[in-house]
Amino acid sequence: MYRHARRDSIEKKISEYLRRCGASVLFIDDAGAPDLLVGYNNFSIMLEIKMPKGKLTTAQVAFFNTFKGAAYVVRSIHEAKLILKHYAKFNVPKLVEQQDSTGLAQTPETTVVTGTDVPL
């Protein structure tokens, strides 16, 4: 229960900010895994949300030492903003084909997002 009280206080603010910036946010509750899976500009980014003086658990340290993808510890909205700005620099096309209302595949459109598109 203590974890959920902390989650509500900082994770909610950060996840709301990420969504306002156009990111998809999924909360993860597996032990040792980061708190959030964030989709932004066709990247998947894992974020562990910690209070300013919070420390990683042994399981979280093991995850970060072995995970081969993008994963970060975030302690503030400012740090989340810096991560989004980093990923906003890239023009990465979506690899999954989109379907129209008839179920037919369409060629995906690429949206260019620049660092200036992230609200300050």
Give the tens place of pLDDT for each residue, 61-95: 999 999 999 999 999 999 999 999 999 998 877 76
Report the CATH number of the 2-87 domain.
3.40.1350.10
Residue 11 neighbours by CB under 8 Å, 6+ apart: 27, 35, 36, 49
Give the separation between CA 96 and CA 105, rounded to whole angstroms. Answer: 10
Binned at pLDDT 50, 70 and 90, residue 31 comes out as: confident
Asked if the model's pLDDT at residue 113 lies above 80, the reply is no
pTM above 0.75, yes or no: no
Token couple for 97: 């084909």
Q: How many CB atoms lie within 10 A of CB 37?
A: 16
Instruction: Write out pLDDT tens, residues 36-50.
Output: 999 999 999 999 999
Give the separation between CA 37 and CA 35, rounded to whole angstroms. Answer: 7
